[in-house]
Amino acid sequence: MKGADRMGNRFLPVCRQDMEERGWDQVDFVYVIGDAYVDHPSFGHAIISRLLESKGYRVGIISQPDWRDPESVAVYGEPRLAFLVTSGNMDSMVNHYSVSKKRRRTDAYTPGGIMGKRPDHACVVYGNLIRQTYKKTPVILGGIEASLRRLAHYDYWSDRLKRSVLLDSGADIISYGMGERSILEIAEALEAGIPVEELTYVDGTAVKVRSLDRIYDAEILPSFEALKEDKKEYAKSFYTQYLNTDPFNGKRLAEPYSDHLYVIQNPPAKPLTETEMDDIYALPYMRTYHPSYEVAGGVPAISEIRFSLTSSRGCFGGCSFCALTFHQGRIVQVRSHDSLIKEAEQITQEKEFKGYIHDVGGPTANFRHPSCKKQMEHGVCRNRQCLFPTPCRNLDTDHTDYVELLKKLRKIPKVKKVFIRSGIRFDYLLADKKKDFLRELCEYHVSGQLKVAPEHVAAPVLALMGKPEHRVYEEFTQQFEKMNRRIGKKQYLVPYLMSSHPGSTLKEAVELAEYCRDLGYMPEQVQDFYPTPSTLSTCMYYTGLDPRNMKPVYVPRNPHEKAMQRALIQYRDPKLYDLVYEALRKAGRMDLVGYGPKCLIRPRADKNGAENRGSRNEIRGKERKGGRTEGKRPQKKKTIRNIHRKK
């Protein structure tokens, strides 16, 4: 049997021949996806297609169709109920372009890693491609790209405000967020014969309507024309959306495009229970890519997730630059221990398994329950965060469940090591005074280095990022070092740092560079802030305002300034010398160019042999004025430097 394993499971049809071999004359849903077809629960299209299959619907997959040819989406003919469309696990624009808007060379979600197998703005292109042939067949968008573009949004790549993707794609509905509940409700309604234009009420969807006669309880947002004319209006509108991302207290929103066209965002779908999560992950996935991709070398993305476990969804961390609030929401949903152990045991039976489970986590690994007990009844607080600026007094910081889960996974036969790679929220870890998880983490789940994300050190930038004060990270480094001394291990922290976030001037960038200097650490990679749709930080980037309080925010937009900010963090790289020198000169920090222990770079001689900033004696004099002499070494900072420096 084509594409079947020894247990009798098989992939869903990928062509008309597969459909006919099953004895079908038509599919209920045609699923058009921008990724390769990977039947693994880390891929959204796998979950939605298997869920529909479990309810008796026939689903055919069209992976990476030729968007220049309408026949490429007509493989199965017209589906009985609808077309489903997703750009894939990644936003197509982020997939294609770096933050500097340069074309990436590879695509991990395409067979052989080949770039260019999906179009830019894939949801819009696929939707219009379908509409060329099927004028009235329902088209339902889903996935991260459509979810974060469900209302008017800033598009970084064209540097302008764009309409809801629902309008530009010609689709009928967006199933936003994690779409299990909404897609089943839509399927049942279509099966019952309800016209798609009447499905205006489903939680977790965005729809278009011609009037508000039947939408009696919506909060009216500013019109699209008003948003284009005034960035303040966009900032206010965005913050209204941000406050209505909770399934329990979120309001229905209406965004006008004319007197006869509105996009309605219904409240988010309710979170899944533990049993429902278990059922989703127990569906008969093949757990790998379709065998037709073997000739191209497979799908690179599988290597990152094949031996990993998704234990949770949702994140109450609330980082401003993250879109999770708009996509998965702030309420954490989890799987049971039994469900995760069963999947881990499946993993150990795979031929390529070497004894290592690569990750057990989710958006934040150590979030294994809602942040407080009231959320599953009343939702999250609209006007405050769980961790920022300081942990809420109602925060449940108990890591016991996660510790017990990790212990059980380590005991499974054939498992040598269980790693945690999906990110630790260190301020949440510190808030748990028992320290059991910190010991467990250091003793069993770190492979010499632990990646953490302080992102920055400057207070103004951290505040805009929604991250804790730098002293909290300093405390974590001390606790991490202390625990490793206690258990007799030499392990190190690798901090993720971000440049050019809104609020970061050259002054803050220099402060971050000085911090790296004091650590004796130069990151190999630095993440330049990437303005992706539907984040607070992107709203700041576009409007120059913090939508939470409407205060002006400095935004580094000039590519050259952004290059200088990034270069400062990697100031030791000789190729970046000119950028670092220019940045220090513009920041008024030429005291950091010299021979003293606090200097970032040395002076460079000009063509005539003269140094590019005063004589060596003058430099020495300035350094002595500041209380240091050239040959004097700074004392070691045990609690930070030695933790981060590689052995």
| CA dist., res. 136 & res. 125, Å (int) | 17
Domain range 307-447, CATH class: alpha beta
Confidence of residue 526 (pLDDT cuts 50, 70, 90): confident
- 429-481: pLDDT as tens digits: 999 998 899 999 999 999 889 999 999 999 999 999 999 999 999 999 999 99
Average pLDDT over residues 122-145: 97
Average pLDDT over residues 533-546: 98
DSSP 97: B
Nearest C-alpha neighbor of 456 from the set 470, 476, 471: 470
What is the residue extent of each domain of the chain? 16-208, 307-447, 450-647
Q: Is 221 helix (H, G, I), strand (E, B) or coil?
A: coil
Position 393 scores a pLDDT of 93
Q: In a 10 Å sphere around its CB, with 0-12 CB exposed, 13-18 middle and 19+ buried, how is residue 260 labelled?
A: exposed
Q: Is the pLDDT of residue 608 over 90?
A: no
Q: Is 42 helix (H, G, I), strand (E, B) or coil?
A: coil
Confidence of residue 150 (pLDDT cuts 50, 70, 90): very high
Residue with the larger pLDDT of the pair 612 and 153: 153
Q: State the number of CA atoms in the 13 A half-sphere of 157 facing the CB.
A: 15
Is the domain covering 450-647 a CATH 3.90.1150.10 domain? Answer: no
> Residue 631: how many CB atoms within 10 A of its CB?
9
- 293-328: pLDDT as tens digits: 999 999 999 998 999 999 999 999 999 999 998 999
Give 347-396 as a 3 state SS string. Answer: HHCCCCCCCEECEEECCCCCCCCCCCCCHHHHCCCCCCCCCCCCCCCCCC
Q: How far from 366 is each of 246, 280, 311, 370, 400, CA to CA, in Å?
A: 21, 21, 10, 11, 10
* Annotation: CATH topology of 16-208: Rossmann fold (3.40.50)
Q: Do domains 307-447 and 450-647 have the same CATH topology?
A: yes
Position 463 scores a pLDDT of 97
DSSP assignment of 120-136 equals TTHHHHHHHHHHHH-SS
DSSP assignment of 429-457 equals HHH-TT-HHHHHHHHHS-SSEEEEEEE--
Average pLDDT over residues 601-607: 77
Residue 421: in which H helix or E strand, if any? Answer: none
> Residue 154: how many CB atoms within 10 A of its CB?
23
Q: Is the pLDDT of residue 84 over 90?
A: yes
Q: Is the pLDDT of residue 424 over 90?
A: yes
- 454-465: pLDDT as tens digits: 999 999 999 999
